[in-house]
A and B are shown apart, each in its own frame.
Chain A
Amino acid sequence: MMTLTSYLMISTFLFLCGLVAVIARKNLIAVLLGIELILNASALNFVAYTRFVNNNLDGHIFPLFIIIVAAAEAAVGLAIVIRFFQIRESIHIDDATQLQS
């Protein structure tokens, strides 16, 4: 049950969900949710490999930094989304066509 293959399948599934969410969603916040899923999938892969393949804890440091980067990314990304909403009154992704307001 708890084999490397199952973990890899779960993380692939997470990644694909995130990918579809990023491509299909038209809501900027929902796109950010998809990015969170993708980052989680990659972090899960690191931990799974470090458990089953090589016996050190480097695979625990990496998810830590992935989580940190994800948090920073969420903070800045959401700030951009909110600012965008204040300027264009929309968070539709097709509205984001200009570089300068």
Chain B
Amino acid sequence: MDNVIFIISTILTVGGALCVLLTKNVMHACVYLLTCLLGVAGLYVTLGADFVAATQLAVYVGGVVILMVFAVMLTGGPNSQSSNKFGIVKIPMMGNAKTYIIGIISAVIFGLMAYKVLSRVITSIQAGEAPVFTETVEKIGFMLVTDHVLAFEISSVLLLGALVGAAIIARPKRGV
């Protein structure tokens, strides 16, 4: 069963990421991002991080993706092609051949660098005993109120900042 979940999650993740990259419709890209995130949640499950997987589901699937599709709809929908006053197509196609070639070249360079660095790391790691993660939620909660309490409290300030900042930015123009 472990392998089945792993394979399904890998297919979802890799396929979703590729389709996010290749699709021409930004709405479809959001949907593929959804499958990719579901796949990553599955990978978390295979790694024993069940709480992180549930967080991924709740925050990403329920929150970020909805926000993304809202933003797509608020910026004129996926495929309105009229140009604006600057003469540039309003909703651009998702890129052109030049940018893709540059992107792929940079990806290849980065991949080679990562391989150069990681190959030593991977071969040198002695993958030891896989630990048994039970009661992850209790342990995470315990760590959040003891060791990582500062991060816990600071994150609330971060969220406050994000909420206030985004609300100010998103507020309709004055006088409306």
User: Direct contact between A and B in the complex (CB less than 8 angstroms)?
Assistant: yes
Q: How many pairs, one residue from A and one from B, have CB atoms within 8 Å of each other in the complex?
A: 243
Cβ-defined contact, A8 with B85, below 8 A: no
Cβ-defined contact, A21 with B111, below 8 A: no
The 8 Å CB contact of A74, one of B10, B44, B68, B161, is B68
Q: Which residue of A lies closest to B122 (CB)?
A: A5
Q: Which residue of A lies closest to B95 (CB)?
A: A24
**Chain A: interface residue total (CB-CB under 8 A):** 76
Q: Which residues of A contact B59 (CB under 8 A)?
A: 67-68, 71
The 8 Å CB contact of B155, one of A10, A51, A65, is A65
Q: Which residue of B lies closest to A56 (CB)?
A: B131
The CB with the most chain B CB atoms within 10 A, among A14, A19, A33, A69, is that of: A33
A59 to chain B, nearest CB (A): 8
Which residues does A use to contact B, with CB under 8 Å?
Answer: 1-8, 10, 12-27, 29-30, 32-34, 36-37, 40, 43-44, 47-48, 50-53, 55, 57-61, 63-65, 67-76, 78-83, 85-86, 88-95
Which residues does B use to contact A, with CB under 8 Å?
Answer: 2-3, 6-7, 10, 13-14, 17-18, 20-21, 26, 29-30, 33, 36-37, 40, 43-44, 46-49, 51-52, 55-56, 59-60, 63-64, 67-68, 70-72, 74-76, 84-86, 88-96, 99-100, 102-104, 106-107, 110-111, 114, 118, 122, 125, 127-131, 133, 136, 139-140, 143-144, 148, 151, 155, 158-159, 161-163, 165-167, 169-170, 173
